[in-house]
Chain A
Amino acid sequence: MSTVFIALQTNEDTRPIIEAIVQDNPAAIVNEAPAMVKIDAEGKLVIRRETVEELIGRPYDLQELQVNLITMSGNLDQTDDEMTLYWNA
C-alpha cells in the first residue's frame, strides 16, 4: 500500500488536530520539519470532526483546516464528519 500524507503548519490551531489524527490513526507517523508537521500513513488517513471537538472543547468545522493546510497526497473525500485521504492501489 502507498503512503498518503498531510502537512500542516506548526501552530496552536493545529496542535489538537495533530493529536486527533494520532488518536484516530494509530499507525500514522508524525514528522516535524521547520515550521511544519508532516503526517504519513499507509494507504489511508482519517481526520474525524468529533475527535477534534473533544480535544478543543468547541464545535469544529473540518473546512477550518484549509487555513493551516500546507500540502497533502492521496485521493480526498470530505464530509461534515470526516476528511479522508486514501489511495486505491
Chain B
Amino acid sequence: MDMQVAKKKLGLKERYAVMTRGLDWVPSYQKMEDIYPYMTYEGIKIHDWDKWEDPFRLTMDAYWKYQSEKERKLYAVLDAFNQNNGHLNVTDARYINTVKLFVSGISPLEYVAHRGFAHAGRQFPGPGPRVACLMQSLDEIRHAQTQVHAVANYNKYYNGMHDFHHAHDRVWFLSVPKSFFDDAITAGPFEFMVSIGFSFEYVLTNLLFVPFVSGAAYNGDMGTMTFGFSAQSDEARHMTLGLEVIKFILEQDPDNLPIVQRWIDKWTWRGYRVLTLVAMMMDYMLPKRTMSWKEAWEIYFEENGGALFKDLARYGITMPKCAEQIALEKDHLSHQAWSTFYNYAAAANFHTWMPDEDEMAWLSAKYPNSYDKYYRPRMEYWREQAAKGNRFYNKTLPMLCQTCQVPMIFTEPGDPTKTCYREVDYKDSKYHFCSDHCKAIFEHEPEKYVQSWLPVHQIYQGNCFPEGTDPTVEGFDPLAAVLKYYHLESGRDNLDFEGSEDQKNFDEWRGMATKNV
C-alpha cells in the first residue's frame, strides 16, 4: 500500500518571501520613472523596496481563504437578522439615525479607500507593498458592499437612507467626510499611505469602529454589529500596514523624517475633525451608551497613541502638536456638534432630539467640568421651547472652515464661551478657518484648498437647486429647493425625531410584534 506522506510545507516566513518577492522585473525598453511617475515628486526617498515586510506575512492564497470565511459568517448573520425582523429589536428608533449617519457618511468613504489603495498599489515599484495595497483595496470594496447590504434592510423600513450616495456628494455636513478622503486620494501615493494607512487607520480607526460597533451590539443591532466586526477584522491588518508604512519610509532615508512628520501632524488633525461626527454619535445618538467620547479618546488616543508615538520616537517622530488642542476640546466637542445638528435638523438626512432627563444626568456625570456649566442650560432651554411648540430650526446657513468644512462652531482652545475664528488673505480672497491647525494646513497648500467645494458657498451661488429652479420668484423657499436637490423629503427625512414617521412606525410595528392584532 502506498503511504501518504505529508509534504513538508514552507514556513510562514518562507511562504511570504516566495509569494511577495521576485514577482516583478526590471524594464528594458521603458524607463522606471515613466512606469512609476509619482514616485519622486513628494520628496520621499526609497532605496530598497524589499525591506518592506507585512508583519502578518499574509499571502494572497491565505487572504482569499480567510476573507471568504468572514463573508460566509457575515451573510449568515444578516439573513438571520432580516428573517427575525431584527430592526425591531434595537433599543429605540432613535438609534437608527446612527445607521443613517454611517451609510451616508462612512460607507462611501470605504469605496473611495478602495480606489485609493488600488491607485497607491499601482504606483509603488515594490511587490511587498503592492500585495499589501491590493489586499487593502479589496477589503475596502468589501466593506462598502457589506455595509450597503446590511443597511439596505433598514432602508426598507426607515427614512433618509434611500439615496445615500447622492446625499454623500451633496448634503452640507457630508462634505466633511467626503472632502477628507478626496484630500487624501488627490495627494501623492506616499502621503495617501501616511494619511489613510497610518493616521486614519492606525491612530484613529479604533475611535470610529470600536465604539460604533460596540454601540451597535449594546443597542441590539445585530446586523450593524456583524458588518462592523467583519470590517474591523480587516482593520487590524490595515493598522499593521499603516505602522509598517511609517517605519519603512523612515528607515529608508533620514530626509524622509520632516516630510512624514508634517503629514502626521496634518492628517491626525484632519481625521480628528471628521471624528466630530462620531463624538456626537457616542454621546447623544446611542440610546444605550457604551462609553463617552472623552473616555474613548483617552483610551484609544491618549493611552494607545501615546504608546505609539513613544515607540516612534526612535525615528525622531513626535506626537502631533494638535494633540494639545484636542485634549482641551474633549470636554466640549460632542456637545457643540450635537447642538449644531439640533439647530440644522431641517437640512439633514437624519433626525435629532434633545436628551431626556436621564441622558442629561449621564452627560453631567461623564463631563463634570463642562456639561452642567456650558451645555445643559441651553439644551434645557431648547427642550422647554420645543415643549411649547417652538422647536427651533436654524435656517441661516453657517460659515464653513475652508479646510475641514465643519461649520465654524468650535470654541477657542481654553475658552468655551468664545467662538474660534481664523482667516487668511490669499490672492484676492479671504478664507476662514475653525482653528490654527486648519489654517496652517491651508497655508502650506493654498492652491489645493482654494478649490474646496463648500456646500454653503455653493448654495448661495445657486448651485444646489434642482435644474430649472427660479430663485427669483416671489416666495421662493431656498431650503425646500435645496432638500429637493438632496433628494430628501421635507417633513419625512429631516426635522426632530419627536413626531417623525420613523418614531410612529417603529412604535406601531414593535407593538404588532408583541401582540395579536
Contacts and interface: CB of A to CB of B under 8 A. Distances in A.
B113 to A, nearest CB: 17
B229 A35 contact: yes
Interface string B190-219: 000000000000000110011001100110
Given A34-B218, A70-B229, A73-B304, A89 B314 contact: yes
Interface in A1-57: 2-5, 7, 9, 33-36
B325 interface: no
B322 to A, nearest CB: 20
Contact of A71 (B57, B206, B307): B206
Contact of A34 (B205, B214, B307, B310): B214
Nearest to A62: B12
Given A63-B62, A79-B13, A87 B210 contact: no
A83 B203 CA distance: 21
Interface in B271-316: 290, 303-304, 306-308, 310-311, 313-314
Interface in A56-89: 63-64, 66-80, 87-89
B56 A75 contact: no
A64 B66 contact: yes
A72 B210 CA distance: 11
Contacts of A78: 12, 55-57
Interface size on B, as a range, is 35 or more
Contacts of A87: 307, 310-311
A67 B306 contact: no
Contacts of B73: 67
B307 A77 contact: no
Nearest to A68: B233
26 contacts: A4-B307, A35-B217, A35-B225, A35-B229, A63-B58, A63-B66, A66-B233, A67-B69, A67-B233, A69-B232, A69-B236, A70-B213, A70-B235, A71-B205, A71-B209, A71-B232, A72-B239, A73-B307, A75-B55, A76-B56, A77-B55, A78-B56, A79-B13, A80-B12, A87-B307, A88-B311
